[in-house]
Structure 1
Amino acid sequence: MAGIYIHIPFCKQACYYCDFHFSTSLKKKGDLLWALKKELQRRKKDLQDQTVETIYFGGGTPSLLTVQELKGLIDEVYRNFKVASHPEITLEANPDDLVSEKAQPETTVKAYKEIGINRLSIGIQSFFEDDLKSMNRAHTANEAKRCLETATKHFNNITIDLIYGIPNMSLEKWQNNLQQAFAFGINHISSYALTVEPKTALERFIKKGDYPPINDALAQEHFNCLVAATQEQGFVHYEISNFGKPNYFSKHNTSYWQGKPYLGIGPSAHSFSGQVRSWNVANNTKYIKGLMAGKLPRTVETLSVADRYNEYVMTGLRTIWGISLNKVTQDFGETFKEHLLHEAEVFMQQDLLAIALQDSHVAKDHAERLVITEKGKFLADGIASQLFYIN
């Protein structure tokens, strides 16, 4: 099984914290849509022995495209790839695109369903107006609520994004954000700490003193609250930033974490075959011109055994599936397993890591797995980096 990610590099405006590739100009939208279809045609051999089980529209803001434009891309996938009978097709959407004065919420949401989209990922971020303004989000708090009122009438499989660790956000306010999400009956939440990425507006504002610095202690307090509150509501904390009720885990993102192959279509999109990783040029004009010239402007990297091990450690430790000791031995060798257990020992002594037998919805086998503990979850990425194999 494999997945296809399609990057739509357009946004109405730039969020202060965002470092993804996008453009606020839609002038090249027609050419870009042509190029996306051309890349799908060129790369059909990349997955010729695979069945596509997930299609994910990310960005940028895919909901800026019309329903017919989205349908054209979905149809192109079906024309060029073998697609599962019931694929998960996710659309990232912003609230304002669904409920602005020009939008017809009921008509648009129904139309998404009619063209095969069966999962919505809605960028709420916060239900409070001051938070949205501080991040330069395009929607209002009222639009966030109205959007969910409409979307939940027609879609059961909805995930929303929420950001925690916003400076000066009280614990009570963060709890209020979560309770509003629960009240809408949302079955999946992706939640991330506000981080300062290089060359973003947020970084500039903090350096100038125009925005409060990030408070790691506050972020951890919010994270602990998030874990407890979602658990109480029946969510499974299946990846550090992702919480889903049973049967509502993201199939597409889970495939990333479990090392399945995927194609990334569009400027800046990444692809992975299991042995080779590639990424397209992060420039709309160069991407379009390259495909017009019959070439795909991208960088290709063949991963070493150590690279693949390190990647498995990083992604595996973030999930409830953990790191399978059998898989490490089979895929990378006994030396890597010995290295892993040696480096993990200090963290196990601190109750940050543990060896566990996992089954049921967590793993199909009863093999031993190295997993992050509740105490270690907030530190998962830092711990994983200490388990890396450095040549």
Structure 2
Amino acid sequence: MKELDVVLRRVVVQPFYSQNAGFFLVSFFLMFGVQQPASFLVSPMFLSGVAASPVFTGLVLGVFFLYYLKCLHFLFKVLELPQNEFLYLSPLLPARQLRLSLAKAYMLVFFPAVVYTVWLAIVGVASGNSLALLLVLGYLVGLCLVTVLLVQRKLRSYRVLQRGKMWKWTPALPWPPFLWPLRYFLHQEPIMLLLTKLLAVAVLLGFLQLYPYPGYDLRPTQVGFLIAVSLQAMIVQGIQRFEEVDLGVPRMLPMGMGQRVFQKAALLAVLLLPEMFFLFRFAGHWETVWPLVQLASFGIGYLLLLLALLYRPRFTPEGYLQQVFFLFIGLLLLFLLAPPLWLVAIVFLLISFLLYRRWYYRYEQVLLRKEREEES
């Protein structure tokens, strides 16, 4: 049914690619900007070697399975939005047409993985490894069928499921107020948090395994840590949205600006604990610990700067992604000069404090203006 296809493209496909533009930008950089030559991961030489080994083929499919979980989580998240409750009437349509439309929408969202895995199967068949074709076809068809069945089952429920059920068994331990945003992600966005941290740790471990410090210069480790920290940009945006839109309590507390910035820095330090664990795991001597401490401090200051930029007047998501991108490129070039990281960390913390103090209460006026416009 063409009408349902158009609706699903506007409600599911287009928002998915617009909201995950930063994710695809970082993924494109990792696939084509780090490798030498740039087309190594899509070259027939590499893919024929992958197709020759079922283990490596399964590893590639496993990486794309993480992307599949991200797509599935987004589909469920779209269905839970109040403005999309009309989709729960779609089971009244013929079942065959509904399944076909859902399969089309899923394939459009999963399209980057489909293109790569199909190219892997073609190279495998050309090199005489037909097993890769069977694995890829079974993988794609299986995921498509599972997705259609899960979404169709959810649509038949005729109600928006409550999120966070998987965490109801956890004990109600007291959380410090500055960690409430992290608790929000654990309850409401666990898949997003898990996938982001897995990708960040995987990138960092890749650089640490290829260029272990102190056997190599610290700059490759700096680049890997910078990429891992930059992947947290969407989580930082979610933290700010939770505190200012969903919660709103921290703004009413009688705290000074220095205390507010310190609590944000402590929250971001907790957020980076997995990356710091693997970073310090490779420190074999006390002389190598101090540069890694500087690098960890740089990561906290960098995320704090990204958080401060979210309070900029006339903020737009597109402008925020551009700022993150240019900061990332600028820091890559800066690392080539081997600057003292402690100085960079102090500069980031100072700039973040100044921007936070300048824009924080202006952002409150913007929120009040939006509320008045909605009431009128």
Give me the TM-score of the superposition, normalised by structure 2. Answer: 0.27
Higher strand residue share: 1
Q: Max radius of gyration: which structure?
A: 2
What is the TM-score when the length of structure 1 is the normalising length?
0.27
